[in-house]
Amino acid sequence: MKSVILSLFACLLMTVTLQAQQNKNQLDIQLNKNVLQPGDSLIVKVDYKDNTGRLINQSLATVELIIQNEQGLRTNLRWPMINGQASGAIFLPDSLARGKYTLLAGLQQRFFEVRGKLQDAKKIGKIQAMLLTKTGEWDYQEVPVSQNGTFSINNWLFEDNALMAFSDPGNSNRPLNIRISTQLDSTYKPLAVAGQSFYLGKPSATVRSSLDQPVKITEASFAGPRIELQAVVVKSTVKSPAQQFNEEYASGLFKSGNERLISIMDDPNALGFSDIFSYLQGRVAGLQISPGGFYGGGARWRGSPVTFFLNEMRVSAQDIANIPVPDIAIVKAYPPPFFGAPGGGGGLAIYTRRGGESNYLPANRQVFKVRGYTPAETRLDMDKLNM
């Protein structure tokens, strides 16, 4: 079983500091700099202090960030706050509009939690919950259900979107009628708020001096409606799950259009093979695989060596051989000359399973899409409402 792990971004030395309004509960935002260029990364650190200047001890909370540009577009991010600190890096791509940006921070005194209610729960004392993240990691636990059908889950920490599925551990074929909501997506009153500005491009002297001025914000900036998550409805489609997966996760050179797409997720027989090389033997015309070892030239295509990729990162053949077949979603085989391979040889790209694909979950489960924390290293996209 894989554990759902979140790697918290390391705290970096900051040079620009702006403190929130002087009140009992106080946020302190620190940026690496307040004038940046496209391609830079904005490093953000947020500290929480009380009126004595001491950080919260052993406290779990959440910092919600709102970034707004001069055109009024805004996007939301959220990071976990542990022991009074939260931090991350925001990459600023060239596609962003030049100008002044305002960063608002609001503190929720709560961590990720799912609250739900199971209808007709008289004979069910517990349910099984499974979490499948977008990176392919998964975890599960049994959750107690009270007599009135309510339950809560508050010990999962993950980045980005994920799928959460529920089933009856005593009868996996029994359909469940469940409603859930996540507390981080509900209306809340911030414990503390703060604001800071930064500029993308070359500001005038007047604008540059204004970047150091306090940003006045109110708790109303973080008000929003409560969200009840709806179950995922899987509809029939002309495209296969493998084709949908390929469209969503393949990028750049790996969308050549000349590849052979092999779906592992649609072939139950694939699970009986010890490794992906054994499975691929004889399935791709022209691709010759040498059994055993798989170091260096373990595979050749029309006499040329094959370069291996895992989720579009170049790896060794041994790395590919070590991946459990059940963890693989699709395989893409590129005949030579493949531009991503040195010397114009062939390529073999392995893509592992991700959360957000309901096809990966066992049948007879109630499935929901949930939003976790923003990755500690993320790309700023003002066209997205949530990140």
Task: Provide the whole-model pTM.
Answer: 0.61
Phi, psi of 288 (to 5 degrees): -110, 125
**Domain locations in the chain as residue ranges:** 16-111+188-228, 114-186+229-234+360-371, 266-352
Residue 55 has pLDDT above 60, yes or no: no
Taken in order 119, 123, 126, 129, the sign of the CA dihedral is negative
- Can you tell me the mean pLDDT for 371-378? 92
Euclidean distance between CA atoms 380 and 73, whole angstroms:
12
Return the CATH number of the domain spanning residue range 16-111+188-228.
2.60.40.1930
Euclidean distance between CA atoms 137 and 118, whole angstroms:
26
pLDDT in tens, 177-228: 888 888 787 777 888 899 999 999 999 999 998 898 878 877 777 765 545 5
Nearest to 9 by CA among 46, 35, 60, 37: 46
Residue 288: both structure tokens together: 């010759």
- Can you tell me the mean pLDDT for 27-48? 93
Contact 16, 29 (CB under 8 A): no
The predicted structure's pLDDT at residue 374: 93
| DSSP for 51-115, written as a single string | TTSPBPSS-EEEEEEEEEETTS-EEEEEEEEETTEEEEEEE--TTSPSEEEEEEEEEES----EE
pLDDT in tens, 298-353: 688 888 888 999 888 888 888 888 888 888 889 999 988 888 787 778 889 999 88
pLDDT band at 15 (very low <50, low <70, confident <90, very high): very low
Euclidean distance between CA atoms 230 and 257, whole angstroms:
36
pLDDT band at 296 (very low <50, low <70, confident <90, very high): very low
Q: Which helix (H) or strand (E) segment is 167 a member of?
A: strand 161-167
15 contacts: CB under 8 Å, gap ≥ 6: 31, 32, 33
